[in-house]
Structure 1
């Protein structure tokens, strides 16, 4: 299982928010153990910053919405490195990081901090944080959240005689809401213990620390109705489209795409689990000043809004949503009218317990 969970989730759920033209405009070339690409336009005076991201259509969207405009404004060229956590951490420990700025999950950033692999941030050099209105709990000593994806419920609108599931309790109620279910396995995302506890009446603000025993008891009640465990972003949509299930957990960015294809589905954001992506600076970064400038630029509200237009990504910036049309905003789970319906993943709890929970989940799934 990869540490860069959110990165991989973003990569897998690149659902057409970026055109083929944008992807084709991204120049790829081998660089070390990862992949590097240079921002269009080049830098003035030879200034460069190297940023790590996960590539794919998400990387292409970053190129369009962030890197190219940054180079045009500052004259600093952006080189991109697609590298997994393990080799990047090894480079940092050796004092030779290939990248300066790291775009990664906040969970991965927390792991990096525990290994002394990130620079402590000088927030006075990231002035956009205040104007962008980024949630305070996503501003840490070493990393700042820039976007999130939400895990939520998707359902067929033609399956329940006009009734709409409103909660995770409804997801578990196969009497009132008949049909098969699908949930993720640990190759797709964190085990969905929170949803089981919400279904059993635990309030969102009382979820953590998770009651693992209770969660598995609740999961067991639904086990016979779970027809398939999904491990990639497209699969819930496939199962719903084929009517193999009537409800599934899903990444929120998938639903709008399915609806455009004419699939009778909708999402329910009550009890959505948020996981954030963010920026940090590698310990010993060679281009520290440029890294701060790119971080500051990337966290601007207008930059996050531009990225949301290019990829189904929910800005961390509350101000970014005011820069989107009503139609664009309505598709995003981070919009003000939806935000309070969900909760933030407790990273510290999962870092301590993910391995044990995953082992137990695999045993439970095998029956």
Structure 2
């Protein structure tokens, strides 16, 4: 009886009172942990500033982040940090560990998005590519088969010290087409890397290394992140056979309903192609709108990972395959590195 009385009383509340509660169930300030650098500045210009102008909601940025930092936030029971940037692989780990919340896509009400960016547990906000590049004046390879052909394309290389970046390119060099890369033939990839390892001068760990090595003429060819080399006349490059990947923004587990309501509004702004165009002015990575190309400078379309001409010739990272097989591959990678 008491419960029925309570429900009845709630139902009898004036409608204006209910609407008022809805209006106030949204924070005016939330915190985000993102990768930093130009990427963070692109979030500020492209998404945070338009959100503030429309709603008055402030988003405070911090950087850098890591899966360990996210885990510590959740395990401490904090509620101040609402949003966290994660890679396509780490978001799967974060979901498995119960560190992030589902996205309420109905509340986000996004503009059209590429399907892989509209994930159950994250908003795929920024595409980036890993591609081949070369020092200007070097003989120009058109495929990874040519990139790995050190006789026809002589010169030193720099490759990433990460198996998930190297092995699929090595498999391409061995003749595997990009649409059949996964499940990955790991042994074939290592076989091809063994053929080229004597010509690899540096196995890089930081994205700033490849362009500097090319400029210093310590290497003539590189596998690197596209944003580090596009638009610089010192380099030649191609997206052909490159790897397209996504960075995600996820909601931290335990975030309040008010903070999540604000986050959904930010996600909506991130889905708008006009805002993605603003972000692309800061860094040559692109958002998930299929309608973005007409808003980008026509003379710069060749620089962006998701432009029609580039998306068509790349493969998309298979994060689930790496989540299932990464540990075993990493052990083989360490053994390979010992053979250098």
* TM-score, normalised with respect to structure 1: 0.79
The 2-side partners of 1:114 and 1:129 are apart by 28
Pairing partner for 2:69 from 87, 91, 103: 87
8 Å Cα contact 2:231/2:303 also seen in 1: no
SS in 2 for 1:70: helix
Superposition map of 1:196-207 within 5 A: 196-207=170-181
The 2-side partners of 1:75 and 1:88 are apart by 27
8 Å Cα contact 2:30/2:80 also seen in 1: no
Corresponding residue for 2:109?
127
The 2-side partners of 1:233 and 1:329 are apart by 22
- What is the CA-CA distance between 1:227 and the residue it aligns to? 1.4
Pairing partner for 2:213 from 239, 242, 245: 239
1:137-170 Cα offsets, whole Å, 9 max, x none, are 222211121111111100234223xxx3111000
Corresponding residue for 1:208?
182
Determine if the alignment matches structure 1 residue 284 to structure 2 residue 264: no
The 2-side partners of 1:159 and 1:191 are apart by 23
- What is the CA-CA distance between 1:101 and the residue it aligns to? 2.3
The 2-side partners of 1:322 and 1:54 are apart by 28
- Look at both structures and tell me which one has the larger radius of gyration over its CA atoms: 2
1:272-308 Cα offsets, whole Å, 9 max, x none, are 0112012222222121111111111122111111111
Pairing partner for 2:137 from 139, 158, 175: 158
The 1-side partners of 2:186 and 2:198 are apart by 20
- What is the CA-CA distance between 1:191 and the residue it aligns to? 4.0
Flag structure 1 segments of 5+ consecutive residues without an equivalent.
Answer: 1-44
8 Å Cα contact 1:309/1:328 also seen in 2: no
Corresponding residue for 2:145?
169
Pairing partner for 1:361 from 320, 333, 336: 333
Corresponding residue for 2:154?
178
Distance 1:175 1:209, change over 3 A: same
Corresponding residue for 2:286?
314
Superposition map of 1:101-120 within 5 A: 101-120=83-102
Superposition map of 1:1-367 within 5 A: 47-82=28-63, 83-130=65-112, 134-160=113-139, 164-186=140-162, 190-259=164-233, 263=234, 265-286=235-256, 287-367=259-339
- What is the CA-CA distance between 1:256 and the residue it aligns to? 2.5
The 2-side partners of 1:46 and 1:366 are apart by 52
- What is the CA-CA distance between 1:94 and the residue it aligns to? 4.5
The 1-side partners of 2:332 and 2:231 are apart by 34
- What is the CA-CA distance between 1:113 and the residue it aligns to? 1.0
1:50-88 Cα offsets, whole Å, 9 max, x none, are 222122332223222221221111111212233432132
8 Å Cα contact 2:127/2:305 also seen in 1: no
- What is the CA-CA distance between 1:314 and the residue it aligns to? 2.3
| Range with bigger deviation, 350-359 or 220-229 | 350-359
* TM-score, normalised with respect to structure 2: 0.85
Corresponding residue for 1:18?
none
8 Å Cα contact 1:191/1:358 also seen in 2: no
- What is the CA-CA distance between 1:114 and the residue it aligns to? 0.6
Distance 1:365 1:155, change over 3 A: same
- What is the CA-CA distance between 1:343 and the residue it aligns to? 0.8
The 1-side partners of 2:116 and 2:53 are apart by 32
Q: How many residues align?
A: 311
Corresponding residue for 2:20?
none
8 Å Cα contact 1:53/1:81 also seen in 2: yes
8 Å Cα contact 2:70/2:84 also seen in 1: no
SS in 1 for 2:119: coil
